[in-house]
Structure formats: structure tokens, C-alpha cells
Structure 1
Amino acid sequence: MSTQYREADATASERPIGQTMQAIVYDDYGEADVLHRAELPIPRRLPGQLLLSVAASSVNPIDYRLRRGEMKGLLPFGFPRIPGYDISGTVADCAPDAPFKPGDRVIAYLDYIRGGACADFAVCSVGVAARIPDTLPTEEAAAIPLAGTTALQSLRDHGKIRAGQRVLINGASGGVGMFAVQVAKSYDCHVTAIASAANEDFCRELGADVFYDYNKVDFTKAGERWDLIFDAAGKSGYLAARAVLTDSGRFVSTEPDVQGIMMSLLTTPLSKRGKVMLAKPCGDDLRALIGLYELGKLKITLDSQFPMSETAAAHRRIEQGVDRGKVVLINS
């Protein structure tokens, strides 16, 4: 492990547990400049939970969408809010009979609906965390939880992926897409990647067998058929994709809008099904992804890294559109 990674973990594990902590918060909906530092009470660990010392986190599109207020009808009130769902760090406190011990290096996909990762400390259920090996750098580990879980559950649980299938990943170079290509290849599937021309080499390095530049090729008119189409970019739709699905093919999207929910309901009895998915925190799924990493079947690419004090800048980076990999926050 490099000195940089050791220092990040040392900072997290040696952070004293007092009464208060530093956190990035927002007190109302708005643009990225509503994010600011604040001193808050350290969250209380309840039975069945871990208290984690946060070494790093990462930014996902859901973070800025929540900050903008796009889901305020579902999550009203409750300010100040701490953004973020991804944590890489160490266990600061846990019950004596927990399957972890203080000092363990872990990742977690927070199961608190409002987030909470962009802080010195956070709590989560024991069942949504997983130990990470010394070979997995803290920064790369922070990129895994939400995006990796989304890719795995989309393909395995909703797409019912099977060995030898033809799989298409739309948005293959992004945070979720890069995981999806590699997960599909771990199932020995034939993978078609859709992204911009500048990312062809990257997608092929991930394992894609075929690449289409979305500016030049409309995959729905490419004259091919796929057993599973995963729209990791949220820019396609079931009706367009249906024509290029095999007779029992499945379409999975990560765009949870009204149209997508209706699509999920209306296509349930059909042979060609569509599904809008929302990832669920699950420690077993994190362990599966870590297992792929240890087998050399999962490479994690970082677009950029920001100090956690510059979370606003990291949000702006995501909002501009990241072509390749994940944006990570380092808590120093």
C-alpha cells in the first residue's frame, strides 16, 4: 500500500471520538455553493450499527439531484443534510459481538436515506459494510459502494444475466457503466459498450467486445439483438430498446422517473421486460465486488480526486458530466 493510502487510513483510524465532528452540509436546496463546512454532533451508534471513521467518499449523480431538491417531495424537510452514500474508512466503534472490530478497513453503502458520508464519522447497519483487503487503496475503495452495487444488482437481480448472453451497456465509461462492463464480462458475456468515441480504448480495456460511438451509431437501429440492455446513462428507453431485445430479453434503467416506474409495471407480464431499478445497500454485494477485484476482474478508474473541504467543486465536476470513472473525496 502506498504512503498516500496508509496516511489516509491512519487519519481515519486515529481520529479522536469526541462530541462533535466536521461535516459538509447544506441547509436548503440549491446549486453546489450551498454546500459548506459545519460542526455537528457525532452520530450515535445504535444496536446493530457501526460507527465509521470516514477516510474517503465519492460523488454520485443522486447526490447533486438531492441537493438540487429534485426529490424534495419524497424527502421533505430535515436540514442540515450531509450528502453522500459511499464510505471508505475504518470501524471506530461497534458492539463486541459484531462481525467487525475497531480499526478494520471497510467500505459501506450507507442505508440512511438522506446520506451522511461527507463527514468525519457516519453510522450504518452492520449488514451494509464489508472489509477491504490491504491491496485495495482507500481512494479506489470509496468509488465502489453505490455505483458498483447498482451495476451488480441491475445485471444480476433485474437483468437475470447468464453466462454467454449478449449484453449491451449504454453509458459504459461512466461511474456505473465501468463496473457494469466488468461485471458482465465476469459472467462470460459478450459485451457491447456505448459511449463517446474518446472512450473507446477505455471501454475495450474494461473488456468490451464491441464498441459503438453514440454520436455515430444508434444501437436501436444497428441491426443487432441483445439478451440484456442496461442503460447506465439513463438516456435510452424501453420502447426504443424493445425492438432490439431478444424474445425473452430484458431492459434495465437507472432513471427512477414516473415514466420508468410505469414501464416497470406494464411490462411485468411481457416476455420482453423493462425495469427501473434503485440499488439497495448490501454488504454481501460489496463482498462480491471486492472478490472480483481480488481476482483481477475489476479495475477501478478515478476521474478526479478532491479534498472533502471542496465537495462543492466535486459536485460541479459531476454535474458537468464525467466521461470516465468516479469522482472521489478525500477526508484529510
Structure 2
Amino acid sequence: MTTIDMPNAQSIPLRPAGSTMSAVTYEDYGDASVLKSSTVDVPHRRPGQLLLQVVASSVNPIDYRMRQGEMRAVLPGGFPRIPGYDVAGYVADNGGDGPFQVGDRVIAFLKHLTGGASADYATCAVHCVAKIPDDLPFDEAAAMPLAGTTALQSLRDHAKMQAGNRVLVNGASGGVGMFAVQIAKASGCHVDAVASGDNEAYCRSLGADGFIDYTQTDFTKIGQTWDIIFDAAGKSSYFEARAVLASGGHYVSTEPNLSGLAVSLLTWPLSKSGRIMLAKPNGEDLLQLIDLYRQSKLKITIDRHYGLSHLADAHRRVEQGVDRGKVVVMNDSM
């Protein structure tokens, strides 16, 4: 783990000095050892995109799953690849127009199928970027995009969350779960958190009204029902959870697979529906997360910081399982 000094707009160049940059890449599928520090071309900014200077990023489970080759059947061909979807940093080039100015502090949820955040610079569609206030640190901001958007869209769009709903969050202490508990509470819901027993105090600090230790109790067998069951950990199934869904309730999982797709297709007309979701980058959703942060309704927990040159260690940490919050990567190559 590396200690990183937090940069500012006056101390670092916003525009690339040349045509190349530092990045972490992989040239074949495999374990974290395939990740290597490399020198690659600065990405070309196309119309409708911004060039962003990356100050911080974070590691999500999708990063190591793609690196391992789990999605090779749907990915476009070609190596090397740069992992990572979360960006916190500065606008380096805006093409001379649009709502963002060079030097703006921003976060972005990269729309590229293969990522690109683990580098000095990344490109991103303008509508997937949001300005961040000066009082939001880059490391906390970098934890927001993918995990926060996943939680928000799962509850709001897929589960049709309303004030007064009873919401259960399975995997409540993890990266997506910590956002889900707080978003549901901010929306006026009763929230029950499921995690290991040593995370009870933490989950309650996020706002959870009730707590279930999954090592001691199976939430599907305790005689309670919920309007929304959000499986942020991908550990339960619709068929296990259906018995404790209230009539008209919604089950949402973040675990993409063929059986999950079948559940989504087969249960949509039923009174108790199941959905497997993949987050869609959207700048307006990022602004909603930022607004919750500024209202002190959303706090960010960082498990550990790593330097970009230690990205392989950050991947290993996430693969091992993070009990609380997110793993953040600071760009130590500039």
C-alpha cells in the first residue's frame, strides 16, 4: 500500500505533455499478475467526449472478473486492455465547448465496455461526467460512480422504491451495499442490513434499522417480508428470496449470469418480480449521489488506498472480499 499526496489543479499539468502516458494494462486473461505498468498512447478524444486526467479510481468486482476472462464471449477483441470504470480527476480537454471547462473537478463512470480508468488519462462521454464540489476529496469521489450508480438504479429504477418501503440489503457492508443502505434511508425506507456479525455496528452507522447476521440466520426463514430485496452481494437467488417478498415486491441482484437473465425474463409479469441489473453510466445519477453527499446523507467508506503502480494488489484485495466500503487507487505515476 502506498501513501499518496493529494494533487491539486495548480500542481499538475492538465493537458498531456506528449502523445504517451502511463497506464496499467493486461495483454491476456488471467490472475492479477497479468497486470503490468506500461506506456501507451493517450486516448483520442472524439466529439461528444472529454479527455480526463485521472487523479483517483477504484476497483470493482467487474474489473477482476473481466480480467479473468469471464466476459470474453461478449467483449470486443484486442489487447492490451486498461481496466477500471471509476474516474475522479480534472477535465484536460473539452474540445472548446460544452458544459465543462478545462480544469473542472469531475467524476465519471466510463462507458467503454473494457474500462480505461487505470491510466493517466481517459476519455468519457460528456453525459457520463459530473462536476464535484471542492469539499469532496478525490479518493471519496472515486468510490462513487459504478457502485453508487448500481445501488441507485437498482433501488429507484428496478425495485421502484418508495418512501415507507421495507428494504433488505444483502451484502450491506460492501461497496454497493453501503450506498444502498444510505440511499434507501434517505428515501424514507425502513432498511434491514444483512452482513457478517462483526459488521453490525458499521451497518447501523450507515442508517440500517435492523441487522441480520448471515452466518447465524437465513433471512429467507425468519418469517418477515420485504417490499424490496436487493442482493448487492450476489449471494442469494430470486427463488430463495421469493418466499419473503411482499406481494408486489421486487428482488434485484447485481449478479449477471444466464440464470439471472432467465429470472428477469420470466418473472416480469408476476406479482413478485426479479431483476438482474447492470448499471448504466449517467451523469444525472452522479449528480444525485453528489447531492446526497453534500446533504450529509451519504458517507463514503474506504477500505484501503493503493497507488496505481500497485493495482495488482488492489485487485487481489477486492478478489479476497472487502468487508467494508471500497478499494481506491490513487494515480502515483504523475
Q: What TM-score bracket applies, with the shorter chain setting the length? A: over 0.9
**What is the root-mean-square deviation of aligned Cα atoms in Å?**
1.2
Distance 1:302-1:245 versus aligned 2 partners, 3 A rule: same
CA distance in 2, matches of 1:123, 1:182: 30
Distance 1:321-1:8 versus aligned 2 partners, 3 A rule: farther
What is the correspondence of 1:101-180 to structure 2 with a 5 Å cutoff?
101-180=101-180
What is the correspondence of 1:154-303 to structure 2 with a 5 Å cutoff?
154-303=154-303
Q: Which letter does structure 1 place at the counterpart of 2:40?
A: L
State the SS of the aligned residue for 2:322: coil
CA distance in 2, matches of 1:5, 1:57: 15
- Per-residue CA distance 1:303-330 (angstroms, 9 max, x = gap): 0000000000000000100000000000
TM-score (norm 2): 0.96
- Per-residue CA distance 1:118-151 (angstroms, 9 max, x = gap): 0000001000000000110000000000000000
State the SS of the aligned residue for 1:95: coil
Deviation at 1:293, TM superposition (A): 0.1
CA distance in 2, matches of 1:321, 1:57: 18
CA distance in 2, matches of 1:200, 1:241: 22
8 Å contact from structure 1 (residues 87, 107) kept in 2: yes
Structure 1 residue 317 corresponds to structure 2 residue 322: no
CA distance in 2, matches of 1:10, 1:309: 23
Distance 1:17-1:173 versus aligned 2 partners, 3 A rule: same
- Per-residue CA distance 1:194-249 (angstroms, 9 max, x = gap): 00011101000000000010001100001100000000000000011111011100
8 Å contact from structure 1 (residues 13, 90) kept in 2: no
Structure 1 residue 88 corresponds to structure 2 residue 82: no
**Bigger shift: 90-99 or 63-72?**
90-99
CA distance in 1, matches of 2:52, 2:12: 9
State the SS of the aligned residue for 1:112: coil
Deviation at 1:78, TM superposition (A): 1.1
Distance 1:121-1:219 versus aligned 2 partners, 3 A rule: same
State the SS of the aligned residue for 2:152: helix
Q: Would you say how many aligned residue pairs link Structure 1 and Structure 2?
A: 329
Q: Which letter does structure 2 place at the counterpart of 1:222?
A: I
**Bigger shift: 94-103 or 267-276?**
94-103
Structure 1: 5+ residue stretches without partners: none
State the SS of the aligned residue for 2:7: helix
8 Å contact from structure 1 (residues 12, 55) kept in 2: no
CA distance in 2, matches of 1:146, 1:89: 15
CA distance in 2, matches of 1:9, 1:73: 41
8 Å contact from structure 1 (residues 175, 324) kept in 2: yes
8 Å contact from structure 2 (residues 7, 55) kept in 1: no
State the SS of the aligned residue for 1:135: coil
Identical columns (%): 62
Q: Which residue number in structure 2 is paired with residue 100 of structure 1?
A: 100
CA distance in 1, matches of 2:105, 2:5: 12
Distance 1:202-1:222 versus aligned 2 partners, 3 A rule: same
Q: Which residue number in structure 1 is paired with residue 71 of structure 2?
A: 71
8 Å contact from structure 2 (residues 168, 229) kept in 1: yes
Deviation at 1:18, TM superposition (A): 1.5
TM-score (norm 1): 0.97
State the SS of the aligned residue for 2:140: helix
CA distance in 1, matches of 2:221, 2:171: 17
Deviation at 1:5, TM superposition (A): 6.8
State the SS of the aligned residue for 2:57: strand
Distance 1:232-1:53 versus aligned 2 partners, 3 A rule: same
Q: Which letter does structure 2 place at the counterpart of 1:320?
A: Q
